[in-house]
A and B are shown apart, each in its own frame.
Chain A
Amino acid sequence: MAEKQTEKDGQCVLPLSRIRTIMKSSPDVGSISHEALFLTGKATEMFVKNLATISREKSKDKMNVNYKDLAEVVNSDDVLQFLQDIIPRKIKAREYLEKLEDEDEDSS
Chain B
Amino acid sequence: GQYVMEGGGDGEELGATENDDDNRGDNEPLREQDRFLPIANVARIMKKSIPKTGKIAKDAKETVQECVSEFISFITSEASERCHQEKRKTINGEDILFAMSTLGFDSYVEPLKQYLQKYRESSKGDKGGSGGADGTLEDLAEESFTQSLSTGLLTSEQANSQNVIYAPYSGAIAQNISFG
Q: Give the A-B pair count, Cβ closer than 8 A.
A: 226
Which of A15, A29, A53, A82 has a CB less than 8 Å from the CB of B74? Answer: A82
Closest chain A CB from B132 CB (angstroms): 6
Stretch from B14-22, B141-149, B159-167 contacting the other chain: B14-22
If the complex has contacts A34-B13, A46-B111, are A51 and B64 also in contact, measured as CB distance less than 8 A? yes
A20 to chain B: closest residue by CB: B14
Chain B contact patch, size range? 35 or more
Q: Are A52 and B50 in contact (CB under 8 A)?
A: yes
If the complex has contacts A10-B115, A39-B93, A63-B54, are A48 and B68 also in contact, measured as CB distance less than 8 A? yes
If the complex has contacts A36-B91, A66-B60, are A28 and B80 also in contact, measured as CB distance less than 8 A? yes
Among B30, B34, B42, B75, max chain A CB count under 10 A is at: B75
Closest chain B CB from A24 CB (angstroms): 7
Chain A contact patch, size range? 35 or more
Which of A18, A23, A53 has a CB less than 8 Å from the CB of B76? Answer: A23
Which of A27, A34, A78 has a CB less than 8 Å from the CB of B132? Answer: A34
If the complex has contacts A44-B72, A70-B64, are A15 and B91 also in contact, measured as CB distance less than 8 A? no
Q: Are A34 and B16 in contact (CB under 8 A)?
A: yes
Q: Does A22 contact B (CB under 8 A)?
A: yes
If the complex has contacts A43-B96, A65-B46, are A23 and B72 also in contact, measured as CB distance less than 8 A? yes
Q: Are A39 and B115 in contact (CB under 8 A)?
A: yes
Q: Are B14 and A64 in contact (CB under 8 A)?
A: no
Q: Does B172 contact A (CB under 8 A)?
A: no
Q: Are A86 and B63 in contact (CB under 8 A)?
A: yes
CA distance A71 to B13 in the complex (A): 38
The 3 closest A-B pairs by CB, nearest first: A35-B93, A79-B104, A10-B118
Contacts A14-B41, A23-B73, A30-B90 given; 7 further ones with Cβ under 8 A?
A: A22-B36, A23-B72, A29-B76, A29-B80, A31-B90, A34-B16, A51-B67
